[in-house]
Structure 1
Amino acid sequence: MNEFLKALHVQRWDDHRYYHHSRINQSLHLISALSFLAAYAMLFVDPAAAALLSWGVAMVSRQSGHFFFEPKGYDHVNQATHEFKEDIKVGYNLRRKIVLMGVWALSPVVLYVDPALFGLLEPHADMRGFVHNTSLIWLAVGIGGLLFRTVHLFFIRDVQTGLVWMTKILTDPFHDVKLYYRAPLYLLRGELIDPRHAQHSAQT
């Protein structure tokens, strides 16, 4: 158990120090984390609504922070290139995220072409039904994406790495609130980059 918790700490620390320099990204992660926590609660009451909130708000805000606001240049604090960080990323790096988000974005198109989704769903009769069925597909995409990468890590790394990563992903909302609850305040003060990284950026 100590080994597991130590590995979890390392994955969390690497994720924070490599991929969360921007205060905008940190603030978006806070929005994402709060949305995911609300979705966790809704999951037991209305899974479709939970999936809609998770993908429509939590995932969009989280990945927007990474794609549009996080610096992609040389990381002087960690002495690592963007390419190096992408190569060693345990979970979904930007390339894998593009694939995952692509599957998510195309899901409504598949449902439009085949409303029954090969007999797995009751065909929608109106827009509300279409949104409901889309949300169920998004729930399946989310669970599938989590399980796929976890099992993939079993083979390319080891079982513990996969289980640690899955645990990290599921508990990230709690951890992100703890880490980034002050990020919006820093933004209001005009601080766009975490000072640790801003000082090094100013020197180059």
Structure 2
Amino acid sequence: MNAFFKALQVQRWDDHRYYHHSRINQSLHFVSAASFLAAYVMVFTNPVAAALTGWLVSMTTRQAGHFFFEPKGYDVVNQASHEHKEEIKVGYNLRRKLVLIGIWAVAPLTLLVDPALFGMFEPAANNAELIDQVSLIWLGVGIGGLIFRTVQLFFIRDIQTGLVWMTKILTDPFHDLKLYCTAPIHLLRGELIDPMGHEQSV
């Protein structure tokens, strides 16, 4: 068990030091974390609202930070190129994220082909029901994306790496809320890039 939590700590540290230099990205992750936690609460009572919050707020802010604000040049702090960091990323790198986002975008179109979605739904009678069905499809895409990459890591890495990554993803909102709570303050002070002066603690 100690090895598991040690590996989790390493994955968290690598994720931060390699992929979260931008204070804008960090601030967006803070917003994303807060909204994800709200979605976690809602998923038990209102999964439709949870899915809409998770995808339209949490994932949008989170991925916007990576795609538009995170530096893509050479990482002087870690002595690594952007290409190298993308290659070694345990979870979804930018290319894999594009695939996942593409699936998310086109998944609702399945309702045009089969409004009952293979018997899972009653055909929507109004826009409200359609939104409910789309949100549940998106919830399925999110869960499917998590399970797919976890199982994939079982084969291309090892079982522990997959389970550690899944644990990291599920608990990231709690961790990010604490880690990036001061990012908006730094941003307001005009600091666009985290100097990453802190030392590795693992």
> Which TM-score band (shorter chain)?
over 0.9
SS of the counterpart of 1:116?
A: coil
Equivalent residues in 2 for 1:119-138 (5 A)? 119-138=119-138
How far apart are the structure 1 equivalents of 2:130 and 2:112? 8
Distance 1:113 1:131 in 2: 16
Counterpart position of 2:11: 11
Between 120-129 and 72-81, the greater mean CA deviation after superposition: 120-129
1:111 corresponds in structure 2 to 111
Mapping for residues 1-204 of structure 1, pairs under 5 Å: 1-196=1-196
- The CA distance in 1 between the partners of 2:195 and 2:85, in whole Å, is 20
Q: Is the contact made by 2:17 and 2:196 (CA closer than 8 Å) also made in structure 1?
A: no
Mapped to 1, the partners of 2:181 and 2:52 lie a distance apart of: 24
Deviation at 1:116, TM superposition (A): 1.2
Question: Aligned residue for 1:201?
Answer: none
Q: Give me the whole-angstrom Cα distance separating, in 1, the residues matched to 2:148 and 2:196.
A: 35
**SS of the counterpart of 1:52?**
helix
- Paired with 1:90 and 1:78, the residues of 2 have a C-alpha distance of 17
Deviations 1:27-50 (A, max 9, x none): 000010000000000011011111
Q: Which runs of 5+ in 2 are unaligned?
A: 198-202
Structure 1: give runs of 5+ residues left out of the alignment: 198-204
TM-score (norm 1): 0.94
Preserved CA contact (<8 Å) 2:24 2:192: yes
Name the SS for the 1:170 alignment partner. helix
Distance, in Å, in 2 between the alignment partners of 1:192 and 1:38 is: 27
Q: Secondary structure at the match of 1:195?
A: coil
Q: How much has 1:147 moved relative to structure 2? A: 0.4
1:55-111 Cα deviation digits (max 9, x unpaired): 010001000000000000000100000110111110000000000001111122222
Query: Partners in 2 of 1:193 and 1:47 — Cα distance?
Result: 36
SS at 2:7 equivalent: helix
Matches of 1:130 and 1:64, distance apart in 2? 26
Q: What is the rounded CA distance, in whole Å, between the counterparts of 1:99 and 1:115 in structure 2?
A: 24
Q: Could you tell me which amino acid in structure 2 is paired with residue 108 of structure 1? A: P
Shift of 1:51: 0.7
User: Which deviates more from structure 2 when the two are superposed, residues 102-111 or residues 1-10?
Assistant: 102-111
* 2:196 aligned counterpart, secondary structure: helix
State, as a whole percentage, how many aligned pairs show the same letter: 73
Query: As a proportion of its length, which structure holds more helix?
Result: 1
Aligned residues, how many? Answer: 197
For 2:8, give the aligned amino acid. Answer: L
